[in-house]
Structure 1
Amino acid sequence: MKLVTVATCQLRQWALDFKGNYERILASIAIAKSKGATLRVGPELEIPGYGCLDHFLEGDVVLHSWEILAQILKSEEAQGIVCDIGMPIVHKNANYNCRVIIYNGKIVLIRPKMWMANDGNYRELRHFTPWDKHRTTEEHSLPDIISNVTGQHYVPFGDAVVTTRDTCIGVELCEELFTPNSPHIGMGLDGVEIFTNSSASHHELRKLNRRVELIKEATMKLGGVYLYANQQGCDGDRLYYDGACMIAMNGQILARGTQFSLNDVEVVTATVDLEAVRAHRKSSSRSHQAAQSPPYERLRIDMRLDGGLGIRVGEDETSEKGMTYHTPEEEIALGPACWLWDYLRRSRTQGYFLPLSGGIDSCATAAIVHSMCRLVAKAASEGNKQVIDDARRMTGEPDDSSYLPTDPREFANRIFHTCYMGTENSSAETRKRAKDLAEAIGAYHVDLNMDTAVSAVKGIFSFITGRTPQFKVHGGSNAENLALQNIQARLRMVVGYMFAQLLPWARGKTGGLLVLGSANVDESLRGYLTKYDCSSADVNPIGGISKTDLKRFIAYAEVEFDMPILRSFLDAVPSAELIPIENDSVQSDEVEMGMTYDELSVFGRLRKVDKCGPFSMYENLVQKWGTFLSPTEIAEKVKFFWFMHAINRHKMTTLTPSVHMESYSPDDNRFDLRPFLYPSRFEHQFAKIDGLAAQLPDRAAKGDKAKVD
């Protein structure tokens, strides 16, 4: 046997937090060594943080990264262990996203990233140059700050592998795993036995399995040990990095980190048998391909990962773990909650403020905050010092306090503030639901009527124009009806921000609160929200989640969190409650939108994920819905969606920043880059749809309208 203990990690790095990032890197190396590891790999761009965006174009970020690397090279922690560390490096005046392999105070190799993530949430080609000289290295001139530590003036820069006296190590960076011709294929055929992958892979609902299956497949076909490291938490933007670092060998997951936690540093180790890798590679076809494989340059480290003993003494985590996955409902409960905690503690504010309407969206937002409080309480009960220190600071407790946030409801009462802002159009039922939910969670709740404020604004308009607008049910026009609804919604934003700024003061505390929004991804896609109403906030934990998934989450939370009050939100008809209701009718969201939330989810996925325009969306839906809707009915639905999406697209430019969760998010600021002034009638496209609809046979079974999903 040739046993080697290797370590990978997930770190809660923060863009431009060089001091904090340095401390977390050193902590991870120390933990790895304490477990007997002789190789440690960390997340992508771990020194400056992955999410620096255009700051990567600043020379300061590169300079400070070198300064931190110099401190790591000098540190006692980094001695006696091979470390794979990430930072940006300028080579021949071009920016590269790099891994720096170090050992005992020396740089062995600088490996630049070759394939860039440049779609969806990522714009790496804006900041970095891909290394196109495969299997080639050049000399890189080191800055004096490094030369003074290492005694080196030049080091290899490029696509090479590192050999020790007992094995060979190759580097793969994040996106490179997802490409069809991944670097690990060529490296594995050339005898690389251990692969390191440093990632900043964000969380998205139902996504983790793709990452896992790629790693398992790579090591199943090639053989080898694969160390996958990942960023964790909110590093300053809309993404939540979900950790889940792992170690795989020969197609099996040996060890894995948590997918959602509040830990700043998490290190996973496994003791692997290199002879098992070699045995796995004995097939004739693999050997034939390996003999034909072009070689990589090998850079030598004069050491053995097994310490020369053939056996490593350390914590053995090598039993096959398999892989369990959270349900989407659990992912909603955990992912946005962890992101909210990072945002709250790193913004150094004193809590959150949520306009609580009595509807399912603000209910889901409140439930996610409750989940955050539960995670904090659990971490505090387990003695997580960072969580305890952050909780004490935001609650105004002194440093020497003995306060522990171990009761979720008690902690919520300190940091979570809710407010029901009713008008004459609000119902007693929604007011009561909001109050009961706040009480169940433990939030500090305020209940108020806004009729005086609404009347004041209407009075100003009437005084200036001499005209008094009326709701449609009272004989008013569509313009009057819409304006009277919108002023109620917009005033809620103004009042909400005032309460967020002053509620702590009113309670005898200091500081302010962050305002939470609660518009879901489907309403944003349809534009069914008032621009600059209470959907405009500081952050929005549900802005990337569909209404369908939110309903499932509420049903899950009712049981998991033991909160029976949540059932009343599921049973209620979604309503904005902005117009006078007569004859016991209800202002239904789905009726006003002209489409169901389930239909919106289908439209959203086709538009974004399947990259459909109006005509190809119609063609797709004729196949999907043709057994219960006629071609003409489907055509009308598709045209109406595209028209409403087009005339409301401008609202996407002002969406509240939300944690990215859904693959069809319409977030215009990062994820969904499209025009916001459309030819909303789509005359050519709609005419083509109508022409096809007239030719197609009607396959629908009348009277048997199946549910759209």
Structure 2
Amino acid sequence: MKYGFVKVAAATPIIRVSDCKKNTDAIIAQIKEANIEGAALVNFPELCITGYTCSDLFLQQTLLKTAESSVYRIIEETKNLDIISVVGVPVAFREALYNCAAVIFKGKLLALVPKANIPNYSEFYEARHYTSGKNTDFEIEYAGRKTVLSDKVLFQNKNMSDFTLGVEICEDLWVAESPSIALAKSGATVICNPSTSDDTIGKAEYRRSLVRMQSGKLCCAYIYTDSGFGESTTDTVYSAQNIICENASLLSESERFTTGITYADIDVQKLMGERRRMSTFCYDNENVRRIYFDMPLTDTKLSRKFEQTPFVPSAKDDLSRRCKEIITMQATGLATRLAHTGIKNVVLGLSGGLDSTLALIVCVHAFDMLGIDRKNIHTVTMPCFGTTKRTKSNAEKLAEAYNVSFEEINITAAVRQHFIDIKHDESVTDITYENSQARERTKILMNLSNKYGGLVIGTGDLSELALGWATYNGDHMSMYAVNVSIPKTLVRYLTAYEAEISDGELKTVLLDVLDTPVSPELLPPDKNGEIAQKTEDVVGPYELHDFFLYYFVRFGFTPSKIYYLARHSFAGKYNNDTIKKWLVTFLKRFFSQQFKRSCLPDGPKVGSVTLSPRSDWRMPSDASVRIWLDELENQ
């Protein structure tokens, strides 16, 4: 459970209706199996000790007493295991019968949680036997233990309070006021639902959507366990559709009409972080019992995958759809700005690199939306000391293929004159040498925008903003920055998507742009005329930095947790020392370069991670990175 990861399990045993001994054998076996697999929590179906479909047998003392003895046996035979078991059982107390979940840990019956909403419609007639457990709160003795029977109870790990469990049962999920709402508002990050939900045509899709949305609404993990083989099929069939979701994401689902155990790794730290970000998630300290359990923080062997490119969908169909959507959002943002201002011209520095290519793609789509002549897109290439024939040629070909205006302004003489003015030795290829070129280009773009009555379109991307890899008052500045929330790894996929839907010369040149090394081209080419200055040689691989950025900004993870996840995701590609080296670089640059982000031009937000000082990221430029570096170093 280190770093907030908790392995959980949804277990459906093969049962026999009313055969408590057989069912208990199967339950104990699955608890032990889940424990061996490293699960900290296992959830079983509703009334699985007896079977859900016992009907009037639930009124038989023999069945109820045997069920209680079965709970005792489960407690005794799992008392040395560090795993919480949530097991469905009928419980008789005083004059009532309750449909309960027994919550068991290390030889203790932590509580009996009764079902609050008792269905009595269609194929369900539970009210014939069961009493609603709503607002119950009794201290009772059951299965040889003193415990509580309560529908308002939370189970919290003493060693990690973010792991707090609540329980609701089957129908409780399907009603308007689910008990899980109050449980989550009182602090539950994990909800277990022991269920017996019969199958009818189309119900599986609805059930899945219901679990996903409940986990999303409550910003929690939701473990839904369904009954399966062995329940009576007199009138109904059960498919054992076990579902584990986390904040609306489906982590794991069993194959229907099978039995066994479904696992998933949930991240309770992430869930708590999400709740803290949401000003609308209000904690409500209702009158709930908190029962504490002492589970040690051990390493969780992760089976969960963390994609190397978290900004990019892994499925090709999703990727194509997402790329189309993102480009449309970027183009709509620009089109709206143009329509609002009445401006019908834009000016764009076209280098032949990835970022400026994507900016041109966005401009073309925006102009097509508005029905404006593409010739009003004024692209400019401004070669200087580091420009290669390849990028310059690609800039020309792109402009021609898209049928936009194009001009070349060589800035070499102007930059040399500037060196003379500031008394800089041209042979010293330092930061002054580089940034003088970037600022000269921006000056030209700004002045051309006055000439054409247009907006200067920014080309810089989100990854460059995170690292401060931009020249202040150079390429850092524009009048509308269309790529401002697009990370470098996604820029590549968006450009590739445009190439995929294009043909002829346009497709050819876009593919060559994709094959060109990322570079600001501010230093002279090598002796073969190829790009010598490669960005990733200096700041590190963008795929690592985008990974760091996503988990640092989106979830507020600690550097040590980000390092842990990166080692897990990039194993075999980068060694641990390399990952740590570039993570330190990321942290230092992210903090030191905030002043550039504090004065960003407008640009469209398209994803959950942006660094706009007006909306998503507010940070003082003077903040110290020290405690983040210390936290990483101490691991």
TM-score by length of 2: 0.48
Larger Rg: 2
TM-score by length of 1: 0.43
